[in-house]
Amino acid sequence: MQAAATGTFASSVPLAIYAATVSARLRQLGVTAPGATIALVGGALAAAGIGLSGLITWALSRPELAVDPTLVHALYYLVFLTGGPGHIVALGLLVAGVAVPSLVLGLLPRSVAWAGLVIAAIAELSFLTLLWWGFSVLLPVARFSGLIWLIVAGAMLPLRRRNRGAQ
């Protein structure tokens, strides 16, 4: 369990770097609306959520904590909350922060930008897991589609903004 916890914690670092990088790229491409900042904050919160989840999971792997079932139960819920809805809702902000300005400014193909908006909406709706466990199906859907979308969007974002008037 310690190896998985360490891997989960370590995964927060590239996510934070991605958020900072994509935010800077959006600004370089002329995004002056809040999208770049939303992407940065969403990415930082998503990285913090998954990182905290990994650290709490690591703590759960310690044998001295296993003797207190109430503590184990409480920590288990914290792992779920920080790595589940907390991480996914913030990840949705990161995706939306990239997708919206990309759609408005034509930085990504419309289909890719719209897919990002749909994924972001699913991620934001994952907060409903806190009200009814049945909505937990949104968590892996948003997590995996969101991460794949971020890779695709990162690869497709232009280095320089195209001049819309040029042919």
The full set of domain ranges for the chain reads 2-156
What is the reported pTM? 0.94
In this prediction, residue 164 carries a pLDDT of 55
Note the pLDDT of residue 163. Answer: 62
Mean pLDDT by 10 residues, the chain (167 residues): 94 98 97 96 98 97 92 96 98 98 97 98 98 97 98 95 56
Count of other CB atoms within 10 angstroms of residue 135? 15
Residue 1 has a pLDDT of 86
Q: Are 85 and 93 in contact (CB under 8 A)?
A: no
**What pLDDT is attached to residue 161?**
74
pLDDT for res 166: 44
Dist CA 163 CA 77 (whole Å)? 50
Collapse the DSSP code of 34 into the 3-class scheme (helix H, G, I; strand E, B; otherwise coil) and give the result.
coil
- Tell me the torsion sign for CA atoms 113, 119, 122, 127: negative
> Which pLDDT belongs to residue 68?
92
pLDDT for residue 121: 98
